[in-house]
Amino acid sequence: MPDYILETACPAPVCGVDEAGRGPWAGPVSAGAVILDPRRIPEGLNDSKKLTAKARERLEIEIMESAVAFGVGFASVEEISALNIVGATGLAMRRAVEAMAVAPVFALVDGKYPFALPCPVKTVIGGDAISCSIAAASILAKVARDRLMKEMDERYPGYGFSGHKGYRAAIHAEALLRLGPCEIHRPTWGPVKLALMGRNPMLAWDDALQDELPL
């Protein structure tokens, strides 16, 4: 389980930063940024992928109520196409940090990329399982993106976005072949290109045709 040890070695206020949605075939990439109050750290913080949807939604509320500051940012499908997924992830992270009511002086960022943020950065591989602040950020990013994809399911019916959230799934592949891509599909993604060719998008998972592999 993550703890607050890394944060205590950083200048304060320090924020954790993480993303959600780098790998899906559709939808934006999101990022969360959180400055935790060390006296009021919600119980049960963990990598968002290891939590149930119900637990994430409960923790989202607790994080927002107890944190010193928090922010969420997105980078659009168009920005993913223009910047590639890594560049778009960095943009979403910057927007999340800039959205906070309190500016951090240091950031702990999940992963290996030292993105250009408004403050100095320390990268932490697997950070959402190590740092409470990064875990909190991962939860905000995940819940915000999932909520958006449920809204997209109503706007673009037939693809099943409320279930798979734009990720690889047989029902998603079938819908892509039957309906073709919609406005929120990532046109540079291999599965989307395959669907336009009338081929099964699932083939792109390990296929050289996928130009931008999920990260």
Of the pLDDT bands very low, low, confident and very high (cuts 50, 70, 90), residue 192 is very high
**195-214 pLDDT, tens per residue?**
999 999 998 854 333 333 33
Answer whether residue 88 shows pLDDT above 90.
yes
Considering the domain architecture, whether residues 84 and 138 belong to the same structural domain is answered as yes
Please give the pLDDT value at position 178.
96
Domain coverage including residue 184: 157-206
Which tokens go with 177?
Answer: 């072949």
Considering the domain architecture, whether residues 72 and 166 belong to the same structural domain is answered as no
Considering the domain architecture, whether residues 127 and 146 belong to the same structural domain is answered as yes
Question: Percent of the chain having pLDDT more than 90?
Answer: 94
Q: Is residue 15 part of a domain?
A: yes
Task: Output the domain CATH number for residue 52.
Answer: 3.30.420.10
Q: Is residue 28 part of a domain?
A: yes
**94-116 pLDDT, tens per residue?**
999 999 999 999 999 999 999 99
Considering the domain architecture, whether residues 20 and 119 belong to the same structural domain is answered as yes
User: How many domains, the chain?
Assistant: 2
Please give the pLDDT value at position 204.
80
Those residues whose C-beta lies under 8 Å from the C-beta of residue 140, and which sit 6 or more positions away, are 32, 33, 34, 60, 63, 64, 70, 72
Q: Is residue 215 part of a domain?
A: no
Considering the domain architecture, whether residues 78 and 173 belong to the same structural domain is answered as no
Q: Is the peptide bond before 120 cis (omega within 30 degrees of 0)?
A: no
Mean pLDDT to the nearest integer, 6-16: 97
Q: Is residue 90 part of a domain?
A: yes
E-only strand ranges, the chain: 14-20, 29-35, 69-75, 106-110, 121-124
Considering the domain architecture, whether residues 80 and 178 belong to the same structural domain is answered as no
The chain-wide mean pLDDT, for the chain, equals 94
Q: Is residue 213 part of a domain?
A: no
Considering the domain architecture, whether residues 39 and 133 belong to the same structural domain is answered as yes
Task: Please choose, from the candidates 139, 120, 114, the residue with its C-alpha nearest in 3D space to the C-alpha of residue 47.
Answer: 139
Which residues on adjacent β-strands are paired with residue 101? none
Considering the domain architecture, whether residues 59 and 114 belong to the same structural domain is answered as yes
Considering the domain architecture, whether residues 86 and 145 belong to the same structural domain is answered as yes
Mean pLDDT to the nearest integer, 65-90: 98
**26-67 pLDDT, tens per residue?**
999 999 999 999 999 999 999 999 999 999 999 999 999 999
Q: Is residue 23 part of a domain?
A: yes
Which tokens go with 134?
Answer: 């990064």
Mean pLDDT to the nearest integer, 183-206: 90
Considering the domain architecture, whether residues 166 and 129 belong to the same structural domain is answered as no
Q: How many CA atoms lie within 13 A of 94 on its CB side?
A: 13
Last residue of a domain, one of 151, 173, 192: 151
Cα–Cα distance, 184 to 132 (Å, whole number) = 32
Q: Is residue 100 part of a domain?
A: yes
Mean pLDDT to the nearest integer, 111-124: 97
Task: Please choose, from the candidates 184, 22, 77, 142, the residue with its C-alpha nearest in 3D space to the C-alpha of residue 176.
Answer: 184
Q: Is residue 173 part of a domain?
A: yes
Q: 194, 204 in Cβ contact below 8 A?
A: yes
